Amino acid sequence: MSVDTPRRIVLLRHAKADWPEVSDHERPLADRGRADAPGAGRSLAATGIVFDLALCSTSARTRETWKLVVPELSQRPRTVYEERLYDASLGELIAVINETPDTVNDLILIGHNPGMHALADALAGQTSGDLLPRMNRSGFPTSAYAVIGFTGGWKSVEHGVGRLDAFWTPRD
């Protein structure tokens, strides 16, 4: 793959979680989350993006979200459950992305806020129309996703490298 290869990162925030008496890591989805996640999957399928790799936080709510999203996609990508995505800082998220093999063109991360929002905001050096202000106004709600396009290798992903091509929320 050339360093001029166009690539996409989709940042998907987990669906709405419940608050039972369990550790934060083990929180399951709420009924609304189980209803919203397949809609996010259908919307992702409509983008036409075929993911080469999915990196999913190990939390119960992100795993459950992904299990509800993936049947809606045209093709199931290789999925890696990545402990470092749980409660990750912006720097930790970028470090995980930088480790992605250059054989991957389209990557989806299934994670948490504030990380997903911070990462989308940091990577989006450019944007189409009002996408960035709309994303920042919305606060990146549960089941939302951002599509960020860039050109180059995964090791080159850093602040301002991409453009925000799409932003979707369950209200859309």
Tens digits of per-residue pLDDT, 11-66? 999 999 999 999 999 999 999 999 999 999 999 999 999 999 999 999 999 999 99
Question: Phi then psi for 150, rounded to 5 degrees?
Answer: -155, 170
Report DSSP state, residue 29.
B
Give CA 118 to chain center in angstroms: 12
Predicted model pTM: 0.96
Domain 6-168 classified CATH 3.40.50.1240?
yes
Structure tokens at 89: 């800082």
- Rounded Cα distance between 128 and 165, Å, is 6
pLDDT in tens, 84-126: 999 999 999 999 999 999 999 999 999 999 999 999 999 998 7
Contacts with 128 (C-beta within 8 Å, 6 or more apart), sequence order: 163, 164, 165
61 assigned binding-site residue: yes
- Residue 87, sorted as left (phi over 0), alpha (psi -120 to 50) or beta, turns out to be left
